[in-house]
């Protein structure tokens, strides 16, 4: 097994938190059990500590779908039927904005209104007519990759339900047969992807497989694409069983854990057997996710393209694992309880009633450029699709209308999880891994990866701690978050980001120590990481309840001293109302209580709550500690250290504190 798990939590978090949540229910200082709003008081005060979970956490998953998600689709369907290509949501036009997946998302999203409405319902005939009209309306629009898969999946579902001929006209279907193909983004010589990340192997495979099922192709290209995907796993992760999103650069992120879940879901969708090899890789992803379960329904905390997709990634993997019996009998109800929390969080937090839309972009939230607001209609369709198709699997596996386990039982399971784990993604010239530290119900991640092309210089991929709604990066931002940026005398800028080696971990009591080295720094001038050997680095992290310490020792290369123009580092936080004492900063509000720096000459603080650069997927960071050293020469080893303290025991929140 590639995940090395250590000690079980020593205190009964379950008993303490659930008991505390039940106490002082009139207190203004506590976020009450079931309250999705932000807490106002000291989350670390044992007298006021309470559990953060969605209000609908105890509601059956299917009930959330039928009472909340499907009615929102009905609203959008009616609106699109009236406005057609002039469709506007929250002031944003859906068409003409460059969403190249939109026709497919429209097809799959609104297919659920046909598939899950009884044909005796008066709405059904109207749904059929509107679906047909919209298919005619969008058939000639640009539709690529994921959009093609979504459309193929919708056609297959409608055919299986006996509705295809009524929902799509013959003329439109003939056009779709010609346009819904995978070959434009796959090299026909060796079946490699054309300038796309690894998860698109799954897209190409799914399109090919569905075309074969529908009788549109008679080839076996889907198997060749599956073989290519398996080859990629074996080449770049080997025994560890995760998908590198690049060809060997080492970008292991949300997609790396999700991808095997998507592949297994496509096999389930098309009635194919799932091999023992694929199930073993799925189990590895499950192990990563189980360590991250929490009452709030929060998902991945680092890397690109997060927002609600950070949460639904867990849903897709856990659902496939449940259906394929990769989960144990004891894990299945836990997984269902978490999936339900994700769905509840989606309708309570991600959905904005004022916007009448999912909100990834406003009120302090910001997605990366890939998910810009021009995709507003598509995001309102692909997210419900993920929730609805997984709900249908749970329904078929005897969970329909079943209430999830009580919060006390769910938290009791979390209480028994290991305190720490080290998950290996790849080893070779460089180490790629994910360190996890659980402090009570709070999960802290330390990804030791390479963001690779474009992303290596952006802080969502830095080798720094992440903890959902406490320690967050900002999409597409490159400020030197929790790690220094060196500007050399020749103008080149180096960061300690991409070339990590010799990773080790050691646990002693409640303290986890992580060490690694880098003999090359990362020159951020180009899209791809560039090695620069003039500065070497040894890093040590210490994780303790309520405290994280990072100590870096930077040494000049044996070739001689290194002239520096500047060194810069920042810590941007949700915490605010900062008191400054030299290079020690304390916060009056938020989960982080203090931050202290040594080894840099000056530190100050700035307010960043209205600066788009500091907006995260869940909300805006509020303050940033900015540290710097002016022109100097690195002749001897330089130690830079920071110590971050936070409220402990703590619980992960739905809304940033």
Bridge-partner residues for 254, per DSSP? none
pLDDT of residue 218: 83
pLDDT above 70 for 461: yes
> How confident is residue 73, by pLDDT bands cut at 50, 70 and 90?
very high
Query: What confidence score (pLDDT) does residue 320 get?
Result: 98
pLDDT at 40 exceeding the cut of 90: no
Instruction: Identify the residue whose tokens are 């386990």.
Output: 405
Judge whether residue 8 has pLDDT over 80.
no
What is the model's pLDDT at position 256? 95
503 pLDDT above the threshold of 60: yes
Domain ranges of the chain: 61-414, 419-646
Mean pLDDT calculated for residue range 291-297: 97
Cis peptide before 334 (omega within 30 of 0): no
d(CA 653, CA 650): 9
The answer to whether residue 10 scores a pLDDT higher than 50 is: no
DSSP state of 402: P
262 φ/ψ angles, rounded to the nearest 5 degrees: -65, -45
pLDDT, the chain, mean:
92
The per-residue pLDDT for 164 is 98
Name the H helices within 44-101: 61-64, 70-83
Q: How confident is the model at residue 50 (pLDDT cuts 50, 70, 90)?
A: low
**For residue 168, what are its two tokens?**
């799509």
Query: Is 437:458 a contact under the CB 8 Å cutoff?
Result: no
User: What tens digit of pLDDT does each residue of 124-136 get?
Assistant: 999 999 999 999 9
Q: What's the rounded mean pLDDT across residues 579-589? A: 97
Mean pLDDT of 301-329: 97
pLDDT value for 649: 86
**Which residue in this structure is represented by tokens 């500007």?**
487
pLDDT at 1: 41
Q: Does residue 544 surpass a pLDDT of 60?
A: yes
Percent of the residues in the chain that have a pLDDT greater than 70, as a whole number:
92
Distances (CA, A) of 588 to 442, 562, 585, 632: 20, 40, 10, 35
Per-residue pLDDT at 370? 86
Q: What is the mean pLDDT of residues 50-75?
A: 95
Structure tokens at 285: 């992803």
On whether the CB atoms of residues 286 and 318 are closer than 8 A, the answer is: yes
Note the residue count of the chain: 657
The CB density around residue 82, as the number of other CB atoms within 10 Å, is: 10
Q: Which two tokens stand for residue 288?
A: 């990563």
pLDDT level of residue 51 (50, 70, 90 thresholds) = confident
Which of 4-18, 88-102, 415-429 comes out lowest in average pLDDT?
Answer: 4-18
pLDDT at 14 over 60: no
The region, left, alpha or beta by phi > 0 then psi within -120 to 50, assigned to residue 46 is alpha
Kindly state the average pLDDT of the residues 19-48.
32
- Tens-digit pLDDT profile for residues 392-410: 999 999 999 999 999 999 9
Q: Which of 138, 120, 62 is nearest to 399 (CA)?
A: 62
**Which pLDDT belongs to residue 359?**
98
CATH architecture of 61-414: Alpha/alpha barrel (1.50)
Measuring CA to CA, how many Å separate 435 from each of 95, 140, 168, 176? 42, 47, 49, 46
DSSP 67: I
Q: What is the mean pLDDT of residues 634-652?
A: 94
- pLDDT higher than threshold 80 for residue 26: no
pLDDT tens for residues 207-254? 999 999 999 998 789 999 999 999 999 999 888 999 999 999 999 999
Q: Is the pLDDT of residue 30 over 70?
A: no
Cα–Cα distance for residue pair 248/221, rounded to 1 Å: 25
Q: Count other Cβ atoms within 10 Å, centred on residue 392.
A: 18
Please state the pTM of the whole predicted model: 0.93
Specify which residues 294 forms β-bridges with. Answer: none
Element (H, E) at 439: strand 432-439
Q: By percentage, how much of the chain surpasses pLDDT 90?
A: 88
Q: What is the fold, at CATH topology level, of the domain defined by 419-646?
A: Beta-galactosidase; Chain A, domain 5 (2.70.98)
CA distance 336 to 345: 14
């Amino acid at each position: 097994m590639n995940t090395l798990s250590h000690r079980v939590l020593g205190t009964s978090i379950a008993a303490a938190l659930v008991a505390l949540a039940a106490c002082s229910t009139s207190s203004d200082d506590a976020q009450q059990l079931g309250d999705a709003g932000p807490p106002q008081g000291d989350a670390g005060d044992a007298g006021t500590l309470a559990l953060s979970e969605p209000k609908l956490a105890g509601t059956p998953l299917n009930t959330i779908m039928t009472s909340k998600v499907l009615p929102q689709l009905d609203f959008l369907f009616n609106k699109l039927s009236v406005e057609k290509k002039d469709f506007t949501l929250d002031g944003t036009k859906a068409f003409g904005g460059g969403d190249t997946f939109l026709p497919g998302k429209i097809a799959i999203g609104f297919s659920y209104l046909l598939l899950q409405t009884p044909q005796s319902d008066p709405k059904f005939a109207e749904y059929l007519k509107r679906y047909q009209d919209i298919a005619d309306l969008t058939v000639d629009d640009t539709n690529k990759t994921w959009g093609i898969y979504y459309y193929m999946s919708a056609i297959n579902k409608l055919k299986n339900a006996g509705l295809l001929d009524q929902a799509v006209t013959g003329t439109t279907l003939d056009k779709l047969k010609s346009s819904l193909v995978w070959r434009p983004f796959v090299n026909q010589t060796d079946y490699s992807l054309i300038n796309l990340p690894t998860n698109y192997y799954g897209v190409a495979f799914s399109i090919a497989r569905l075309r074969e099922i529908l009788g549109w192709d008679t080839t076996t290209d889907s198997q060749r694409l599956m073989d290519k995907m398996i080859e990629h796993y074996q080449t770049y992760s080997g025994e560890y069983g995760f998908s590198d999103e690049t060809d060997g650069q080492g970008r292991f992120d949300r997609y790396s854990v999700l991808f095997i879940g998507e592949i297994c879901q496509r096999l389930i969708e098309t009635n194919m057997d799932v091999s023992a090899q694929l199930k073993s890789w799925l189990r590895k992803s499950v192990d990563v996710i189980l360590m991250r379960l929490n009452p709030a329904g929060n998902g991945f905390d680092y890397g690109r393209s997060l927002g609600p997709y950070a949460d639904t990634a867990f849903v897709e993997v856990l659902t496939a694992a449940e259906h394929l019996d990769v989960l144990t009998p004891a894990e299945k109800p836990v997984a269902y309880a978490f999936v339900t929390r994700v769905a509840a969080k989606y309708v309570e937090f991600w959905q904005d009633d004022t916007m009448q839309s999912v909100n990834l972009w406003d009120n302090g939230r910001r997605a990366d450029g890939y998910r810009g607001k021009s995709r507003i209609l598509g995001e309102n369709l692909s997210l419900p699709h993920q929730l609805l198709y997984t709900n249908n699997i749970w329904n078929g596996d005897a969970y329909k209308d079943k209430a999830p386990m009580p919060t006390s039982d769910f938290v009791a399971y979390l209480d028994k999880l290991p305190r720490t784990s080290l998950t290996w993604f790849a080893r070779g010239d460089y180490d790629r891994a994910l360190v996890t530290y659980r402090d009570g119900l709070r999960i802290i991640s330390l990804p030791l990866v390479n963001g690779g092309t474009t992303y290596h210089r952006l802080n969502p991929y830095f080798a720094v701690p992440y903890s959902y709604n406490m320690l967050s990066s900002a999409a597409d931002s490159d400020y030197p978050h929790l790690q220094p940026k060196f500007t050399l005398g020749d103008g080149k800028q180096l960061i300690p980001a991409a070339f990590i080696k010799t990773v080790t971990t050691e646990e002693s009591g409640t303290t986890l120590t992580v060490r690694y080295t880098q003999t090359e720094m990362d020159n951020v001038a180009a899209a791809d990481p560039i090695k620069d050997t003039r500065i070497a680095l040894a890093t040590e992290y210490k994780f303790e309840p309520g405290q994280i310490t990072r100590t870096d020792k930077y040494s000049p290369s044996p070739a001689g001293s290194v002239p520096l123009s500047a060194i810069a580092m920042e810590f941007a936080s949700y915490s605010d109302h900062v008191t400054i004492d030299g290079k020690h900063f304390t916060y009056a509000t938020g989960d982080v209580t203090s931050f202290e720096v040594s080894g840099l000459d000056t530190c100050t603080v700035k307010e960043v709550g209205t600066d788009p650069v500091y907006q995260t997927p869940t909300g805006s960071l509020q303050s940033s500690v900015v540290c710097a050293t002016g022109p100097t020469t690195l002749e001897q080893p330089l130690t830079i250290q920071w110590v971050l303290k936070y409220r402990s025991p703590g619980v992960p929140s739905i809304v940033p504190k």
